[in-house]
Amino acid sequence: MFMGLTELKEAAPDQWEACYEGRYGRYTIFVNGDGKTFTGQACTCPCPDDECKHIELVKAIITFKNEEKQNKTLCSRLLSY
């Protein structure tokens, strides 16, 4: 059985929704933010928000995606010179 993040999508600008398949079931994680600042988060797992690993994981991926996007923008800007 696959365990881990099974889905991550930007449901609306800066509003992320993720699915996590865990040992005890499937959780949905909601994170608001652009990768630099996060304004809200929630997870359906039984852990309190500040102890939840899923939120941390999703935030890390969004941050990574954001940096990747910035790098691409930077690259295409450099290429256009």
Q: How far is the CB of 46 from Zn ion (least distance, A)?
A: 8
Q: How far is the CB of 63 from Zn ion (least distance, A)?
A: 17
Kindly write out the interface string for residues 34-53 of this chain, putting x where it contacts Zn ion by CB under 5 A and - elsewhere.
Answer: ---------x-x------x-
The gap from C-alpha 50 to its chain's centroid, in whole angstroms, comes to: 16
54 binds Zn ion (CB under 5 A): yes
**33 binding Zn ion? (CB under 5 A):** no
CA distances from 36 to 21, 32, 44, 71, 76 (A): 26, 11, 23, 14, 21
Q: Do residues 43 and 49 make contact, with C-beta atoms less than 8 angstroms apart?
A: yes
Positions that interact with Zn ion (CB under 5 A): 43, 45, 52, 54
